[in-house]
Amino acid sequence: MPGPRLAQAQVADHWALFRERLSEVGGEVADFSAVADCPGLFWIQEGLKGFWPGLDLAADPWEAMTGVCRADMAVAETGSVLFASGPDQPRLLSLLPPRHVVLLDPKQIEPNLEAALARLDRRNWAIVTGPSRTADIEGILVRGVHGPRELIVVPFPV
Amino acid sequence: MRSDFDKRAERLPLKVVDSVRTASANKVQGRFQAIASVFAEYDSARRQAAATKEYVLDNLADLLVELEASCLKNGVQVHWAEDAEQANRLILGIVSRAAPSALVVKGKSMATEEIGLNERLIQEGHQVVETDLGEFVVQLDDDVPSHIVTPIIHKDRTDVKRTFESHGLSPRSDEPEELAAVARARLREEFRRADVGISGVNFAVASSGRLVIVENEGNNRLSTTAPRVHIAVMGLEKVLPCDTDLALFLRLLAASSTGQRLTVYTHLVCGPRRPDEPDGPEEVHLVLLDNGRSKILNGALREILKCLRCGACLNVCPVYRQASGHTYRHTYSGPLGAVLAPGLDGVHSHGALAFASTLCGACQEVCPVDIPIPELLLKIRAEVGATPAAPWPVWAWFAQRSARWRMALKALPMVEPLARPWTEHREWPEPSGVDFRRWWDQRP
Ligand code: SF4
């Protein structure tokens, strides 16, 4: 059964729409070079450590200020990044550090949620749409209540 | 006639009424905008969602058996609980096996609220910490949530600051930003030390066994990732046939409950940590909770089992807005609660809630799965039987004879005082001065 039609976005390509929707939910896009400038200790996915040899790594992940990992997929329509648990994809990395830097290969962007869900395998997946937020007190938006306060996506073609 | 509900609602402090009214009005606005920007054909989206839910209810037993098989294949342990007592005992067993006096962190879950799980765990010597910001405040206050999505909708920042202070937390100001930071720092320690994490489930997919949990804060994900054991508690009706059904429901839920395109975190749990994975729980348990649901399934209120717990009907309900959640005296409040509470616990304990409605129909209008709540309320009213004395027989006696009718019209101003409870808050219509018969006779 075909799903109901969604409101059409007026944007040509997936990356542009992803970028727009990500900023709507409070995330941002930055350059590769910006990663090294983040203050505090880092928690970096094993496979990526070679890109930043000089950075201070946190001995205890709970102490890290910046987490860096690769996204396993993304959704343009919602500005979401997806992570699948695996040997080199700790689930807590996208959750504990107050700043989360995500490297995204633009080819991994699916146009919409339907397409992304159709690609899920049997790992544990997390769909992350913007930084952590709450509006529990007087409906006022506060970011970073339990998860990251900043979500930064860096285009990273493989 | 004043019901207990009315009396409780009247005793609410003005400040609470204001908080609830403002917050729910903002939520109504947020929902409206989200739906307009997400869906080009909202009506067909909601018809499709309702039809999928109808299918689920028609095939519930089969889908649950399929879900169980898929979960087992994923390495998730499945438990069936017929009622609250059985569910609590089951969960207690898992928790006690994890640690004799365990630290349990909880993500927001109405199902565990419904069975009174926290009290039971605490009675048996475990420590339970609610980690959703609103639920954390509710727990410190020894209170209960007043809204299924926004547990402290009845409180403002000064209330929260006071609560924190009386529990040894010292926020520097009453800014929501600061209050959230204090809670974050405090709860981090708990996540780190916790033995068991307990969550609810928003959707469970029969064909893949995926347990889907949505949230905005990240506490749910922390609760279900950091501790060694994860227990997910789910009402039977939350099952969906396939993964492809998820997109529509995730969108409808996010737009209807918090006015978002998608909730910040959507976790798709497909089993415990694998041997080569660095983190995640070693055990995942799914508790399938009946607790009155199969009785509802076979009765007149069956359609309430389509509910997604989005809270949209609460926000839009003129009675909820004025009365707030606690007045309903049940885990589920608002129009949803007025049907579900008597459904789960019997019309004799909560049937009176069906009268706490103007039958204006706003609840059905905003419901993402088109549940005919007003119709269900009428069914409960009929079953309770105690319809408030209708004035129609009296009216009929006067209306049947023209002499009596004329007499009644003349006497009308005299009975006005009888209508005081009605006219206190409403205008008494001004008579136009001349009655219809005279006007008819004298017309040119
Ligand atoms: S009855 Fe409908 S509107 Fe109310 S909470 Fe359930 S799904 Fe939402």
Residue ranges of A 30-59 with Cβ closer than 8 A to chain B: none
Residue in chain A closest to B37 (alpha carbons) equals A7
Cβ within 8 Å of residue B366, ≥6 positions away:
B28, B31, B256, B312, B313, B315, B316
Any ligand 1 atom below 6 A from CB of B369: yes
Q: Structural domain of residue A103, as residue ranges? A: 4-155
| Ligand 1, atom 2: closest residue by C-alpha | B367
The per-residue pLDDT for B239 is: 98
Judged by CB atoms closer than 8 Å, whether chains meet at B219 and A92 is answered as no
The answer to whether the beta carbons of residues B35 and B254 sit under 8 Å apart is no
**Cα B32 from Cα B48, distance rounded (Å):** 19
Q: Is A95 on the interface with B (CB under 8 A)?
A: yes
The per-residue pLDDT for A94 is: 95
Which of B179, B192, B247 is opposite residue A114, by nearest beta carbon? B247
Confidence of residue A1 (pLDDT cuts 50, 70, 90): very low
Interface test with B, best of A78, A146, A149, A150 (most B CBs within 10 A): A146
H or E stretch covering B188: helix B176-193
Which CA distances in Å does B56 have to A147, B78, B181, B401? 34, 19, 41, 55
Contacts of A126 in chain B (CB under 8 A): 221, 265-268
Would you give per-residue pLDDT tens digits along chain B (444 residues)?
567 888 888 888 888 888 888 888 888 888 999 999 999 899 999 999 999 999 999 999 999 999 999 999 999 999 999 999 999 999 999 999 999 999 999 999 999 999 999 999 999 999 999 999 999 999 999 988 889 898 888 899 999 999 999 999 989 999 999 999 999 999 999 999 999 999 999 999 999 999 999 999 999 999 999 999 999 999 999 999 999 999 999 999 999 999 999 999 999 999 999 999 999 999 999 999 999 999 999 999 999 999 999 999 999 999 898 888 888 888 999 999 999 999 999 888 888 888 888 899 999 999 999 999 999 999 999 988 755 556 678 888 888 888 888 888 777 777 777 777 667 666 676 767 777 878 888 888
Domain count, chain A: 1
Contacts of B271 in chain A (CB under 8 A): 122, 124
ipTM (interface pTM): 0.94
**Cα B54 from Cα B241, distance rounded (Å):** 11
Looking up residue A98, the CATH number of its domain turns out to be 3.40.50.10420
Atom of ligand 1 nearest to the CA of B148: 5
* Residue ranges of domains in chain B, CATH in brackets: 3-293 (3.40.50.10420), 392-442 (no CATH)
Measure the N-to-C terminal CA separation of chain B; round to a whole number of Å: 46
Amino acid letter for position B64: L
Angle separating helix axes B60-74 and B42-58, nearest 10 degrees: 90
The answer to whether the beta carbons of residues A80 and A127 sit under 8 Å apart is yes
Q: Order across the sheet with A73-75: list the strands.
A: A109-110, A73-75, A80-84, A125-128, B265-269, B211-215, B203-205, B239-240
Atom of ligand 1 nearest to the CA of B304: 1
**Cα B318 from Cα B306, distance rounded (Å):** 23
Contacts of A17 in chain B (CB under 8 A): none
pTM summary value:
0.88
* SS3 state at B190: helix
Interface test with B, best of A124, A143, A149 (most B CBs within 10 A): A124
The answer to whether the beta carbons of residues A124 and A84 sit under 8 Å apart is yes
